[in-house]
Amino acid sequence: MLRLPTVGFLAYDDERMVSTADALREQLGDGGGLIRRYDADDGIPGREGAFLACTFWLVECLARQNRPEDARDIFDKAIAKANSLGLFAEEFDSGSGQMLGNFPQALTHLAHIEAALALADSAAVTGDHTSGPPPRVA
């Protein structure tokens, strides 16, 4: 759902997209600022971790919806989940602090770059560089 604006289906600031981003954040939030892919029984034991690509897609949506403070907060929480080399796994378990799934995960890295670019674009448009240094691309 968070990719709808990327393919031109809806504008980032369309009220339906804004409410979708908010609903996904509320319903799929992991309590640590990240979001999961889904919340359903998939037949696999245990609960999946936060899906980092989805978290970065949320950052991109929020930044392009002119909500840079929320976007930057989530971005900072997500980049903190990289290892010492700046590599991301597919998922992250906020409860245990463990990386889960495929590692390293190219999709997560691509979403990270797109989120950083969206934050940089947002800062350039608004002129607001007070929320911290430019986004770091690990």
Does residue 115 belong to any structural domain of this protein?
yes
What does the pLDDT read at residue 65? Answer: 96
Does any domain span residue 21? yes
Do the domain assignments include residue 53?
Answer: yes
Assess if residue 9 is contained within a domain. no
On whether residue 38 sits in a domain, the answer given is: yes
Assess if residue 108 is contained within a domain: yes
Structural domain span for residue 37? 15-126
Predicted confidence at residue 33, as pLDDT, reads 87
Give the chain's domain count. Answer: 1
Give a yes or no: residue 6 inside a domain.
no
Asked if residue 136 is part of any domain, the answer here is no
Per-residue pLDDT of the chain (138 residues; tens, 9 = 90+): 999 999 999 999 999 999 999 999 999 998 888 999 887 666 766 667 899 999 999 999 999 999 999 999 999 999 999 999 999 999 998 888 899 989 999 999 999 999 999 999 987 665 555 555 455 555
- Tell me the three-class secondary structure of the chain, residue by residue: CCCCCCCCCCCCCCHHHHHHHHHHHHHHECCCCCECCCCCCCCCCCCCCEEHHHHHHHHHHHHHCCCHHHHHHHHHHHHCCCCCCCCCCCEEECCCCEEECCCCCHHHHHHHHHHHHHHHHHHHHHCCCCCCCCCCCC
